[in-house]
Amino acid sequence: MEKSRREFLKTSGLFAGGIALSPFATYGYNSSVDDTIKIAVIGCGGRGTGAVAQALSTTQNVKLVAMADAFQDRIEESYKNLMAKKYKNAKGQDVPASEKIDVPESRRFVGFDAYLKAIPLADVVILTAPPGFRPQHFVEAVKQNKHIFAEKPLGTDAPGVRKVLAAAEEAKKKKLNVVVGLQRHYQPNYLEAIKRIHDGAIGDIVGGQVYWVGSSPWVRDRKPGMTEMEYQMRNWYYFNWLCGDHIVEQHVHNIDVANWVKGSYPVEIQGTGGRQVRVGNRFGEIYDHHLLDMVYADGTVISSQCRQFEGCWNRVDEAFVGTKGRIDSFSTNNTVLKTYSGSVIYKHDGRNDGNPYQIEHDELFAAVAKGEHKFNDGENGAKSTLVGIMGRMATYSGKVVKFDEALNSDIDLFPEKLAWDAMPKIVPGPDGEYPIAVPGKTKAV
């Protein structure tokens, strides 16, 4: 007989590890017995707002009960946008946003410690703050026995990745569902094609290319009176302790597909990169392009490109060659496995498979509602994150970086203290410019 959701929450969380707790002590605000799945969002920027909207758009009885962010204005903007959206209830009926969102000002928490106040109030937490905070938020969510949706990447340095790996193992023991926003794992054309690749349709994979080459994201100007901490937080994408560089924050999607296809992680990486067109202190410390050779244990080399240039050829995709055939693209309407003579082995039919960002939430909340433990994306998410970090280490240092030495690196990018008047570890020099990694000189591992 299928366990009820309430019984699942009880057995997967309250008694995990042999510790028995009162449901009121563990779940705080979540003291009802109406099978409402209560969610809290940690990080209320654009992705956090989108993830909440997707959670509230599932067919489960989901309600947002808490919000947390370092900035008050981000919470208020997110709340306004969420309240303006349309939702359906579990019966498919249109309902006002007020039926899906119950977050009075008393449950809108602001500050670096806001997550500690929001997490206890939910059954499922949505972790969408800048990636540098992901390890501490992830660890706390597991400690509090919560199911998790965590955006990628799962950290920005090796110490953070190690924390996530340990917490992911604990989540497995506690039977907590963990979904990571590497949404291609929930996208039908990827699932169908990679299943066939793993079944040997194109033979052994012996090479490939993965790309995220596109344009630059937003940048926000420094305002009078801003502390260095606030400036970096507002421009989190351009600082490694927060973002990890775009090779980690963005290109991790494509790197993860390479790992998925190969069924393993690179044993070593070498590469090159730099700042060619996006220069100046307003762009922080990150590179604008990276090129890698990712070497797997069987000798296979997958090449990787990511760059953020304006007005250039763009591609966000992956391609692989096997001993019996190839796949040149995972475009929804052009996902084709074929032999070298051109015969089609498999072609995705191009039907509307749905939005993978929505599917990952549909499946997570369905599992929670049914009392199932189906998802444990934490380990893979952390290891693919580490591969992105390896790539950054390789391009910044100009060295060959091995998986084990990257994992065991003691370089900790996180500030010693979190406060608006505290200083991050990387600050502008006397000339106002941030220090930039120089291959051959920079120690990156």
Q: Is pLDDT of 93 > 50?
A: yes
CA distance 102 to 342: 56
Helices (H), 353-377: 356-370
CA distance 211 to 304: 6
Cβ-in-10-Å burial (0-12, 13-18, 19+) of 356 comes to: buried
CA distance 260 to 321: 14
Task: Please state which of the ranges 31-40, 176-185, 368-377 shows the lowest mean pLDDT.
Answer: 31-40
Q: What value does the mean pLDDT take over residues 296-322?
A: 97
Pick the more confident residue, 152 or 8.
152
pLDDT of residue 350: 72
pLDDT of residue 124: 98
Q: Is pLDDT of 19 > 70?
A: no
How confident is the model over 184-194, as pLDDT tens digits?
999 999 999 99
Instruction: Give the percent of the chain with pLDDT over 70.
Output: 92
How would you classify the pairing of strands 124-127 and 147-150? parallel
pLDDT of residue 26: 35
Instruction: Give the percent of the chain with pLDDT over 90.
Output: 88
Q: Is pLDDT of 34 > 60?
A: no
pLDDT of residue 10: 45
Q: What value does the mean pLDDT take over residues 30-59?
A: 87
CA distance 406 to 445: 6
How confident is the model over 216-265, as pLDDT tens digits?
999 999 999 999 999 999 999 999 999 999 999 999 999 999 999 999 99
CA distance 155 to 163: 9
Grouping H, G, I as helix, E, B as strand and the rest as coil, residue 136 is helix
pLDDT of residue 20: 31
CA distance 168 to 158: 15
Q: What value does the mean pLDDT take over residues 146-151?
A: 98
Domains of the chain: which residue ranges?
5-184+357-375, 185-350+384-407
Q: What value does the mean pLDDT take over residues 411-429?
A: 97
Output the CATH code of domain 185-350+384-407: 3.30.360.10
Mean pLDDT rounded to a whole number for the chain: 92
CA distance 346 to 326: 11
How confident is the model over 325-367, as pLDDT tens digits?
999 999 877 899 999 999 999 999 877 789 999 999 999 999 9
Q: How confident is the model at residue 30 (pLDDT cuts 50, 70, 90)?
A: very low
CA distance 155 to 413: 10
| CA-closest candidate to residue 52, choices 125, 154, 134 | 125
Q: What value does the mean pLDDT take over residues 273-297?
A: 97
Task: Please state which of the ranges 31-35, 153-157, 355-359 shows the lowest mean pLDDT.
Answer: 31-35
pLDDT of residue 1: 38
pLDDT of residue 433: 96
Output the CATH code of domain 5-184+357-375: 3.40.50.720
Burial 285-313 (b: 16+ CB within 10 A, else e): bbbbbbbbbbbbeeebebbbbbbbbeeee
Please give the helix or strand (H or E) that residue 71 lies within, else none.
Answer: none
Q: How many CB atoms lie within 10 A of CB 247?
A: 34
Task: Please state which of the ranges 70-84, 102-116, 346-360, 386-400 shows the lowest mean pLDDT.
Answer: 346-360
Q: Is pLDDT of 178 > 60?
A: yes
Q: How many CB atoms lie within 10 A of CB 32?
A: 11
